Structures are given as C-alpha cells and as structure tokens.
Structure 1
Amino acid sequence: MTVTWTTWVPAPSEVQFGLQPSGPLPLRARGSARPFVDGGILRRTLYMHRVTLRRLLPGAQYVYRCGSAQGWSRRFRFRALKNGVHWSPRLAVFGDLGADNPKAFPRLRRDTQQGLYDAVLHVGDFAYNMDQDNARVGDRFMRLIEPVAASLPYMTCPGNHEERYNFSNYKARFSMPGDNEGLWYSWDLGPAHIISFSTEVYFFLHYGRHLVQRQFRWLESDLQKANQNRAARPWIVTMGHRPMYCSNADLDDCRWHESKVRKGLHGRLYGLEDLFYKYGVDLQIWAHEHSYERLWPIYNYQVFNGSLKFPYTNPRGPVHIITGSAVSPRGQGPCSLPFG
C-alpha cells in the first residue's frame, strides 16, 4: 500500500500507523518527495510525497497519518487487502469524474465509509482538467477524492483529459505499480489479474510513437505470464479509457469500424482486439463515453455468447463494459441503436 500526498514546501515523508483505532501509532514508514513543476504559466511547484507500507496483515484495519514534524494530516483508516485467490473482491468501477458536478461521488464516499469496496478502478478522465488554473483544479479534485483514495487502493489509468504537458499531472499525483509512470501496469486481486493500460498512446503521437510499440510488447508479455497462471487466477481483466465499441451518437473512435484502439495505427499496427482475444481476456472495462453500456461477448463485430439462454456463461469472446458516467461537467451522452 502506497500513501501519496502533496505539500507546498519541501518536507520529510513519513507515515505513522497502527492497528488501534485510538492512541499512539507505533509503526513508522519513510519515503521520499519529489518536486512537481506544473506546465502552466505560473510554473507552480508542488512536492509529491510517496511512502510504501509493507508487511501489512491481510484483511486488518489500520489507522494512519502522514506528514512530518512540520505538520501532520488527520487520521485515516484503511483495510489491507486479503491474500490469496479464494475470495471475491468488491470493486467500484467508473470513469470521467469531474471536480465539478461529481454526481456519483456522494454515493461513492458513503459506500467507502461503510466498507463496501475493496478497491476503486478509476478508468481515466479526472477533474476536467487537473492542469487547469495552473493545476489548482487538480488540487481541488485530489481534496475531493481524499475520503475515498485515503481509505482503499485507488487504481487508475490515463484518459484524454490528462494529456496536457505529457500527462504530467497524472504521473505526479497517482502512485501505481511498475516503472511506467502509471501509464500501464498490472496487479493481482483475489482470483483476478487486472491490467491497466493507456489508450491515449494511440492518439497523442507527438509524445512518441514508440510508446505504442513499448506498451504493446509489455501487454503481450504480461498476458503470456497471466495465462501461465490461469490455474491460480482464472480471470484476466483489462481497463483502458477509450472503448473499442460503443453505440453513442457521437464521433468518438469507438463509433468507427477501424477504431484505433481496436485495429491499431493505420488499421493494422498494434491493434489490441486481436491481442486480447488471442490471450483470452475475459472482461474489458472502458469509460470515455458518458454513459453505461454492457455488450454481449464480442470479437470483430461478431457476438460470441456462451449460449442463447446464458450468454455470459463460458462465452467465446470478451465482455466489454463502458462506465463513463460518474460524471463530467458535460453530463451524459446520447445513445443510438445498441449492438445485438
């Protein structure tokens, strides 16, 4: 579990934590802070602190605070994730949550405080936009989600609204596993192997076309390893911002047959649908469209239901879910005719 916070001036990075709901916090963990210089006209400098808590007792509830002798946060609580594969994780899954008009947030905060979730999957698009007003909108958004993100793993992937200054606010503000600045990574949760990746490398090519190839090769390697571990973790789940398919009445990539995410650059290079189908990805989670949509198991525009009566039982293709209605300032999107 990694704890991340921001200060306006340099300071030591420490977390004090323990198992007792009140009284002293006997355990200590130290980390580091790095300056983050926003790309806006004011070039605001923030200090991003990261401390990783190790050797936690599975399923135990901890109390903690972060900071230093220069100042401490209030106390927060979180429950360490369970070990093993023989349990069913409870997830809150959504994308496209703004600092303004966050309609889903009161319910999310209440459910989190009641202990209804083990983790959050935020599938891109934060704050609208974190870079705006010299990154003060990002500050406001992080304060908004603090009651949730301080209480359980808040797992993310980048969306198109994080693009400014080469995704710098996204990279600085969130701490994800791996060494790819949170753009792509994977982790295990109960019986599932969850892969987060960036659809945005296909669209913002001025940051480097090599990122498309790097991510694709990493994805294939990770999927190969996940398939070798199917006996222990039978479910492979992916999360990326822009969907391959959708029925919304707009001009987004998912409305085109030769979708960049689905078919790749120029309709043939590094497409993800064939890759995910080859390695048997079970569930693909998306956002971007400001609506909710669940497809029948599908591959290459063909339905691959398990059976007429039980389409989702032993399907022959992946299930796609779009959940981008958390919601943004622009509200929810109109839909046209659904697939099927």
Structure 2
Amino acid sequence: MKKIGFLSFGHWSEHPAYQARTASDTLLQSIDLAVAAEEIGIDGAYFRVHHFARQLASPFPLLAAIGAKTNKIEIGTGVIDMRYENPLYMVEDAGAADLISEGRLQLGISRGSPEQVIDGWRSFGYAPKEGETDADMGRQKALEFLERLNGVGFAEPNPYPMFPNPPGLLRLEPYSKGLRERIWWGAASNATAIWAAENGMHLQSSTLKYDENGKPFHVQQAEQIRLYKEAWKKAGHAHEPRVSVSRSIFALVNDRDRYYFGAQGNDGDSFGNIERDKRAIFGKSYAAEPEKLIAELAQDEAIQEADTILLTVPNTLGVDYNVHVLESILKYVAPELGWR
C-alpha cells in the first residue's frame, strides 16, 4: 500500500493552449484540483515553490485555503527553499495553516535549488555568514525552524506587556502540536538524505539527484532511500520515517493522452550540470498504455522503497484534465501494482 499524491509546479502563461494564464487562475485552480483530488481518493496535494517566476511562490495562503475546503487530503510543499525564509515567521505561518487543516500539513523544505535569478535570497535580505555558503545558510535556517516548531519558550517576556503573559519564556504562536514530526527534507544527494534522517525529517526525493555512481536513476535513488532508512534507525527517533518519490506518470487511455504525452514514454534517464559543476541525473518520464506502464513501473526500485508517490501534474492543462490523469492512475495502474 502506498499513498498517492500530486505535485504541481503551478505554472501560468498567456499561451493560448493553457487553461492557467494568470496567477489567479493557477491559485484558484490549485484549490479546485485539491478538492477534486480528495473526492476521487488521492491522498496528498503538494506544491512546488519558486521565486521570481510565473509559478507558485507563497505556499501558506494556498495551503490554508485548501485546508479550509478539504477534510482529509494531506497538503504540503515539495519544496520550500529555506534560503529565502525567516524561520520564525515561517513557524507562525505553518502553525496557522496546520491548525486550519486540523493537522494535515506535510511540509517539504530544502536548502534550495537552481533559481531564476542570481542569489535571489539576497533580494529578500539574507546572506550567508562569513565562511558559509548559501547551502549552509539554508540548512541552518532549517534547523532553527525545526527547533522553534517544538513549542518550547525561548523569548524573554516584556515586564510591561500589552496583554498578560503566561509564566516563563514565550514561544511562537500559534503552536500546532505534532507539526514538527511532519517536516520533510528534499535531498539531492546521499549525504543530505542521511542528514535529514539524523535530524528527524521525512525524505522527499525528486525526479533528479546528483549522479554519485553512474547507475540508473531509480537505482541511485533506491540506494539513497536505503541509506536514509539506515540513518533513521541508527538515530533512534520515536516516530516512523516516511519517504516520497516524485514521478511523471501518464496512463495513455485516450487520444488526448497520446497527443499530449505519447512521445514522452520513449525517453530515458538524462544527465546535466546543475549549480555549475555538479553533475545530476534526471529520471525518465513514464507514459504508456496501462499494461506496459504497469510492467515498467514494477521495475522501478525507488518506487518500491518509498511509501508515498507524488505524481507531477501538467497544471496548465486545467483541472478537469488533471483529474482525468490522476483518476487513470488510480483506476488502471495503482491496483495492479499493489499501491491500492
């Protein structure tokens, strides 16, 4: 059994073939898609966060709105770039969104990825300390975020406050109990997956990772997941670890599916450089008639290791078509693979 969610990058463009042509379109359609996905039995609605781009960027208003209009679907991110964040403000935003959804927030964070502008986090007022990299800064912010989510008081109260204070040091409010145990780390390397386990975060592994040994993508990703699980066990955390992998998977069941995605099923893993000199491997897309799709997915070692699958969706094609994409996986693929 696996949880099945969708992951939307939240693109919009004035392209005549797109259903999402404005930011408003994308935000409102994201809410509608989450509501519809819950109705057909999808387990999670996740959203990517990109700054300085015509894509979703500010996750908490969207997550709170979805939380208010749904009842059981998990809602989350994949991922928030911590280089851009104020960890304390983020604790408040995340706590509010989690309370509105009654404890359904599954928040994916990361130290960041290649971005649209040069050092965009500097425009937000942040810079690494002397001797640190921006990646160091992102990880330090993540650790501070985790620490403050514990709900332990740390701020000295004003002796003459506007309102009476409870005794002792003050914590950030609103506090949402249990949220600390629902934070995920997006890891592109084996080392950062181990680091995530050591710090008690669940693991999100995307459709790309650093190429660390030349093996096929799904094999490298499966190795990463096994290292993560070993590190989690060694750390002795009280709660159970979770692992998600992202995949582009399309069951070709009608002519429209074949028109949009028929050619994608013929590709394989690809390689490229991200962040200048770091070689990365990108996993293939899966697109085929259900019987062939099932056979291919059964060979994906990383999917076998994960408990959650995030299906990347073409959000610009509109809510109805995306519901069809998700429903096709639930109907034709998931039962045959034992995911349901």
Larger proportion of strand? 1
Of structures 1 and 2, the one with the larger relative CO (CA 8 A, separation 6+) is 2
Structures share fold, TM-score greater than 0.5? no
TM-score (norm 1): 0.33
TM-score normalised by length of structure 2: 0.33
